[in-house]
Amino acid sequence: MAHAAFPAPSDTAVTGVVMAEAPVARIGPNTIIQLAQVLRDRCGESAAARLLFTSTGYALGALPRAMVDEREAQAFVRAVMRELGERPGARLLHEAGRRTADYLMAHRIPRPAQWLMRWLPRQAGLRLLLAAMRANAWTFAGSGRFTVTTSRQGAQLTFHDCAMCRDMVTTLPVCDFYAGTFARLIRTLITPQATVREVECQAQGGHCCRFEVTGIS
Ligand SMILES: [Zn+2]
Ligand SMILES: [Zn+2]
């Protein structure tokens, strides 16, 4: 029993010495991919590569293709905000969100569904789009909880425990990646008159991150 002092894995599990780690929450790679590309286009290759690598370990030429640990996306978003400041950082995030929506419409949302959303009366089309977003929330909400309520004028989209602004403290609402994605999808597929505004943000001390969709009726 030379190694009796070193418990076998089964022993540690029984005694609870080694606690099971919480499962990693994952989100789609678009936050990182699109934000890296916006950063490259707006701030240059070297600044983009440096911020991306120091916060996530990814290289600009080898961006992730599959779902990522949400903490990598959070670290990248925080790094961009810290380096550029809240307002310019949020602008880049909004653009990254809009590009993500373009990617979704080009590759992920089936053409017949897009056609139907455009063809239906606006409120019905919006309900169809929001149902599709709810069904796919696992790809963008991470450990956050996404809920939707609709009204005659539009809708409220809410994240509790929002993954995008986790551990951030800001003076402005900063979940512009989501705002940009939602705005582009809704304005393209439902009506260009729609607006999407983040009216409550966890990073500002709110209970949740809440987006108001108006201009539908
Ligand atoms: Zn948020
Ligand atoms: Zn927010």
Domains assigned to the chain: 26-214 (3.90.1520.10)
**Cα pseudo-dihedral 82, 211, 128, 31, rounded to 10:** 0
How high is the pLDDT of residue 5? 42
Q: Has residue 4 got a pLDDT over 50?
A: no
Q: How far from the centroid of its chain's Cα atoms is residue 119's Cα?
A: 28
Which tokens belong to 173? Answer: 């609402």
CA distance linking residue 153 with residue 113, whole number of Å: 22
Ligand 2 centroid vs 201 CA: distance in angstroms? 4
Q: Has residue 7 got a pLDDT over 70?
A: no
pLDDT 10s digits, 135-172 = 999 999 999 999 999 988 899 999 999 999 999 999 99
Ligand 1 centroid vs 143 CA: distance in angstroms? 12
- Per-residue pLDDT band at 14 (split at 50, 70, 90): very low
Which tokens belong to 207? Answer: 């209970």
How high is the pLDDT of residue 15? 44
Nearest to 86 by CA among 204, 209, 171: 171
pLDDT-above-90 percentage for the chain:
87
CB contact at 8 A, 139 and 171: no
Which tokens belong to 183? Answer: 């705005």
pLDDT 10s digits, 21-31 = 678 999 999 99
DSSP letter (8 states) at residue 102: H
Ligand 2 centroid vs 111 CA: distance in angstroms? 31
Question: Quick one: which ligand is closest to 77's CA?
Answer: 1
Task: Find tokens 């019905």 and name the residue.
Answer: 124
**Which runs of E-coded beta strand occur in the chain?**
26-27, 68-69, 145-150, 155-160, 195-200, 209-214
How high is the pLDDT of residue 10? 43
Q: How far from the centroid of its chain's Cα atoms is residue 49's Cα?
A: 21
Ligand 1 centroid vs 17 CA: distance in angstroms? 35
Ligand 2 centroid vs 103 CA: distance in angstroms? 23
Average pLDDT, whole number, for the chain?
A: 92
Residue 141, classed as helix, strand or coil, is coil
pLDDT 10s digits, 81-99 = 999 999 999 999 999 999 9
Ligand 2 centroid vs 198 CA: distance in angstroms? 7
How high is the pLDDT of residue 165? 96
Helices 86-107/176-189 angle, 10° precision: 40
Nearest to 98 by CA among 158, 28, 210, 178: 178
Ligand 1 centroid vs 161 CA: distance in angstroms? 8
DSSP letter (8 states) at residue 61: T
- Per-residue pLDDT band at 122 (split at 50, 70, 90): very high
How high is the pLDDT of residue 150? 92
Which tokens belong to 47? Answer: 């600044």
Question: Quick one: which ligand is closest to 163's CA?
Answer: 1
- Per-residue pLDDT band at 41 (split at 50, 70, 90): very high
Ligand 1 centroid vs 1 CA: distance in angstroms? 54
Q: Has residue 2 got a pLDDT over 60?
A: no
